[in-house]
Amino acid sequence: MVDLSVTIGGVRFKNPIVVGSATPTMNALGMKKGIEGGAGSVIAKSLFGDSGKLGRQFPRPRFKLFDYREYPGYPDKLPHSFTLRSLEECSSFDYETYMKDINKAKELVGDSGVIIASLSAATMDEWITMCRMVNETKADFVELNNSCPFAADMGVKMGAGAVDLTAQFIKACKEVLTKPFSVKITPQTNDPVSVAKQVEQAGAYAVNMSARLAGIMIDIETASPIAFGSQAGYGGPYLIGYGLKMVSQAAKELKIPIIAGLGVWDWQDIIRYTMVGATLVQSGVGIMLQGYNVSKKWQDQMTAWMEAKGYGSLDEIRGIALKNIVKTADVPRKPTNVGMAIDVAKCTRCGVCLKSCFYDAITLTKAGAIINTKKCDVCGMCAEVCPTYAPYMVKR
């Protein structure tokens, strides 16, 4: 019997899957669907302080997908790499409506899931006001969101534009908050791990790593940004590599739990994040494009995999990849006992590898591609680009 539950700040999460703060959690009904869909918890769409209330109104449209529908086999098969641009800063609710909605969500969900309120302010007064109000709600947990990728571009000192205030606002909120809380940080800083350490030192119960990036895509016909005319949220499954790096580095330095989640697209990604030290794993884009019920599927798939491997709980997996991640300086250099060869029986003479061999080591013969071992650097590119997997590494 596999136990997927985890506990943070005395709050029990029945599984590590979190519906991240985004469109799916914009109101109580969405949060209820998130829990019914199989997640253990939901982070409500963030409430911005009044100084950022411009963000309560969204442009139309507010989503733009790149390299998504173009994928062969769509919609039965979905790509693993695409970009979702969006301009949806915060909840459209004012303070009072937000707090009522959080209560409604908890009433709808009961004990079947954890409701996390998410607050994001630009001044200390706003932080304190919102913390006092959330104390009075039925929220199980609170997230202080200092991660918005583009609030600063709205003229509001918040999120990616307010990293310097991290420790200060957490300490002020901790004085007031009566509920356990996490702090969500931005990946758009030189050193997110040092920000995560500030979060821990300032007294948060957990750190959420992280929000997405802000980006711009230019349409060359109009010489203008596509969709919104401005920068916007920019992310997708391709960000998982950055997320895993960030979390693996933080996990080595922190004692508090990490809520991970950047680029989660399938159940393996949840295991990956757990293996580098995450306690909870959130999904934003993954749930937005695969629906609330994908959490149930991920949960079943994780459980089946863990059962097959003989794992009884997530504690047995958490952090097990960390010992296998070496420092870049420790990667073995210039091994002399390896070479590259081509299985001519597999070669179709397509010529693809020739374009990517920068050592001019490949010649196309009538029989197929052959490698000049004196020129070959064993860089491995031909093996990566060949459509038929004909090149292969050999030990000398």
Binding residues for ligand SF4, per CB under 6 A?
340, 342, 347-353, 357, 359, 361-362, 368-369, 371, 376-382, 386, 388, 390-391
The option from ligand FMN, ligand SF4, none interacting with 361 (CB < 5 to 8 A, set by class) reads ligand SF4
Tell me the closest approach of the beta carbon of residue 356 to ligand SF4, in angstroms. Answer: 6
In the numeric block, which tokens belong to residue 177? 């908050």
Residue closer to ligand SF4 by CB (options 232, 369) is: 369
79 near ligand FMN, judged by CB under 6 A = no
What is residue 45's DSSP assignment? P
* Angle in degrees, 0-180, between the axes of helices 192-201 and 240-253, rounded to the nearest 10: 40
Tell me the closest approach of the beta carbon of residue 360 to ligand FMN, in angstroms. Answer: 41
- From the candidates 148, 347, 353, 376, give the one annotated as an active-site residue: 148
| Amino acid in the structure at residue 291 | G
Please tell me the distance from the alpha carbon of residue 61 to that of residue 131, in angstroms, as a whole number: 32
45 near ligand FMN, judged by CB under 6 A = yes
Asked whether the CA dihedral 69, 71, 77, 78 is positive or negative, the reply is negative
Respond yes or no: is residue 148 known to be catalytic.
yes
CA atoms within 13 A on the CB side of 193: 14
The option from ligand SF4, ligand FMN, none interacting with 369 (CB < 5 to 8 A, set by class) reads ligand SF4
Collapsing DSSP to helix, strand or coil, 394 comes out as strand
Classify burial at 336, counting beta carbons within 10 Å of its beta carbon; exposed 0-12, middle 13-18, buried 19 or more. exposed
Classify burial at 37, counting beta carbons within 10 Å of its beta carbon; exposed 0-12, middle 13-18, buried 19 or more. buried
Residue closer to ligand FMN by CB (options 82, 311) is: 82
10-39 residues in contact with ligand FMN (CB under 6 A) are 20-23
Residue closer to ligand SF4 by CB (options 309, 349) is: 349
The option from ligand SF4, ligand FMN, none interacting with 199 (CB < 5 to 8 A, set by class) reads none
147 near ligand FMN, judged by CB under 6 A = yes
Which helix H or strand E contains 219, and what residues bound it?
A: strand 218-219
The option from ligand FMN, ligand SF4, none interacting with 233 (CB < 5 to 8 A, set by class) reads ligand FMN
CB 81 within 8 A of CB 67: yes
**Tokens 């960390």 map to which residue?**
322
Name the residues that contact ligand FMN, by CB under 6 A.
20-23, 45-46, 84, 86, 88, 90, 118, 145, 147, 184, 211-212, 233, 235, 239, 261-264, 283-286
Active site (catalytic) residues: 148
